Structure 1
Amino acid sequence: MTFVDHKAYIAAAPEQFRPTLHQLHATLKRALPDAAEIIAYNMPGFKIGDTVVASYAAFSKQCGLYLQPEAITEHAAEITAAGLKASKTGVTFTLKKWIPNDLVERLARASRDAVI
């Protein structure tokens, strides 16, 4: 399935994740007011210039937030303290262990700052 915008992506996501994806989208939009909303690699994201600074995805059992590597590195201790798993460019979370909104905002801003 190909998505045209964030709303269509969220509507097609697993039902249990939809309310929290709406919240994640709103948090990212608030944290990145200067970014354009896009669909890249069939995932919703936010782009500044030619660079995707934040994107997210829902899977069958978890969700992911994808950012610039510098953002993950800068907030590694907070990610670990929240009990979340991180890779070089992403943080995964479940409904039982959701990523806090304030951490999403800090990560998004750090990702933006890494590219501007």
Structure 2
Amino acid sequence: MTKTAGHDAYIAAAPEPFRAVLANLRAQLARALPEAQEVMKYDMPGFEIAGRTIAGYAAFAKQCGLYVDPGAITAHADEIAASKLKATKTGVTFSANRPIPDELIEKLALASRSALAL
């Protein structure tokens, strides 16, 4: 992906199959973190509170990722696995065919905010 100026431009530049999934992810994060500001960091869209990034997301050629605090991943590892998603230390990867369930997005965002004591 090329450098973009904001969330709208990032989603528009993403591979077509991921655009709706990314738009939903953005909306779910905005609902879960109403006090957060949308930011672009490291060419990735994210949400931050008090200068600290709570969640970010990215699109790649074959998958997308939601990136949160490692404690959030650990706290919800069973739910991530039950959703048949792959997790790394700081993120959950997903495809357009198997997006992250909305309730899991909210849980990960809130757990990430809590882990950062905000």
Supply the distance in 1 between the matched residues of 2:93 and 2:63 (Cα, whole angstroms): 7
Secondary structure of the residue aligned to 1:92 is strand
Supply the distance in 1 between the matched residues of 2:97 and 2:38 (Cα, whole angstroms): 27
Secondary structure of the residue aligned to 1:34 is coil
Alpha-carbon distance, 1:26 to partner:
0.4
Secondary structure of the residue aligned to 2:67 is strand
Unaligned stretches of 5+ residues in structure 1:
none
Secondary structure of the residue aligned to 1:99 is coil
2:80 maps to which residue? 79
Alpha-carbon distance, 1:50 to partner:
2.2
Aligned length: 116
Q: In percent, how many aligned pairs have the same letter?
A: 57
Unaligned stretches of 5+ residues in structure 2:
none
TM-score by structure 2 length? 0.95
Secondary structure of the residue aligned to 2:93 is strand
1:6 maps to which residue? 7
2:95 maps to which residue? 94
- Per-residue CA deviation, residues 69-100 of structure 1 (Å, 9 max, x unaligned), is 11001101100111011011000001222110
Secondary structure of the residue aligned to 1:21 is helix
Secondary structure of the residue aligned to 1:109 is helix
Cα-Cα RMSD: 0.8
Which stretches of structure 1, 4 residues or more, deviate above 2 A after TM superposition? none
1:42 maps to which residue? 43
TM-score by structure 1 length? 0.97
**1:63 counterpart letter in structure 2:** C
- Per-residue CA deviation, residues 13-32 of structure 1 (Å, 9 max, x unaligned), is 00111111111100000000
